[in-house]
Structure 1
């Protein structure tokens, strides 16, 4: 699964791996910026510094199952947004 739509690893990146505790052999760079950041309950393990979400120790989107997790978490959010949009029409 080295390079496909679910997994990409960029070992040439100067930040690779961007999380200290991550396993570089199985680190997925696909979600370099986590698409779940905007969610209060993202399913990861962020900490909070006041109102700022700190994902320094979260490697959920970079894990082998990260792609599936991100899509599964985004799907209900998109459905909620679609329903809200339909209600406004």
Structure 2
């Protein structure tokens, strides 16, 4: 079974590659804006925080490695949980 949907590369992007890498042939642009960013320190990537407290992912290659596609998708439930209403607000809300 083909798994081409797990990899996309845009070499015409003016930022390609947007992170320093020794392996541009395998640089995955599919998750250009990392879906795990909202998880803060729990994202699992190589992050730092700036002096002003902003998450800085410029040294992280985790979402740009093709082999991490399944690992990122496996964390979507965590991301969805961030968007859920608190239980007290959910009561009485129709599906």
Classify the TM-score, shorter chain: 0.7 to 0.9
* Structure with the greater alpha carbon radius of gyration: 2
Structure showing the higher helix proportion among its residues: 2
TM-score, normalisation: structure 2 = 0.75
Unaligned runs of 5+ in 1: none
Unaligned runs of 5+ in 2: none
- In 2: Cα distance, 1:85 partner to 1:33 partner: 24
- Residue aligning to 2:10: 10
CA apart distance, 1:22: 5.0
* Greater alpha carbon shift after TM alignment, 46-55 vs 15-24: 15-24
TM-score, normalisation: structure 1 = 0.79
- Residue aligning to 1:45: 46
Report how many residues are paired. 85
